[in-house]
Every structure is written in C-alpha cells, then in structure tokens.
Amino acid sequence: MCFFCKGKLNESTTTHVVTLDSCIIIIKNVPCMHCEQCGETYFNDYVAEQLERIVNELQSVVTEIAVVNYVDKAA
C-alpha cells in the first residue's frame, strides 16, 4: 500500500537519476514498487543500498554524465 495515497503497489522497474555537483548519473531498469494511483516509487532496502554503492562508485570516475544498467552494476 502506498504511503502517500494508500494506492496499490505493483512490482516494476524505473530509471533513477542522481544529480551531483559535477555529474549526472542515470541508472536504468531499477527494480521498484510503483503506485498505480499516484505514481510514487519505492525501493526495498537491498536496492537502495545497491543504488548508493553504484552512485558512490561512479561519482569518482564520471566527469559529466553516466548512463548504466542496474542489472549490470548490481551483480
């Protein structure tokens, strides 16, 4: 159940975008729960940890923009 609107959540994937001071990181195909009513997206703890790891890893090597596939980087 959605925290914001109490709508139904469905398993899905999304694109997660992180904007840092020096770069933009786009992570495609991220597993999530998506509210069919309001569109809010939720990540479980494992996915959130993987996203943080991916961003930390890339921010030190990316100078402007990076587009990565979650499935390739989380494995």
Domain-located, residue 1: no
Q: Based on the structure, what is the number of domains in the chain?
A: 1
CATH of the domain at 40: 3.10.20
Looking at residue 74, its pLDDT comes to: 81
**Residue 47: band (very low, low, confident or very high) from pLDDT cuts 50, 70, 90:** very high
Q: Which residues contact 29 (CB under 8 A, 6 or more apart)?
A: 13, 15, 69, 70, 71
Cα gap 8→37, rounded to integer Å: 7
* The overall pTM is greater than 0.85: yes
- Based on its alpha-carbon atoms, the radius of gyration of the chain, rounded to whole angstroms, reads 13
Domain-located, residue 51: yes
Backbone angles phi, psi at 54, to 5 degrees: -60, -45
Type of residue numbered 22? S
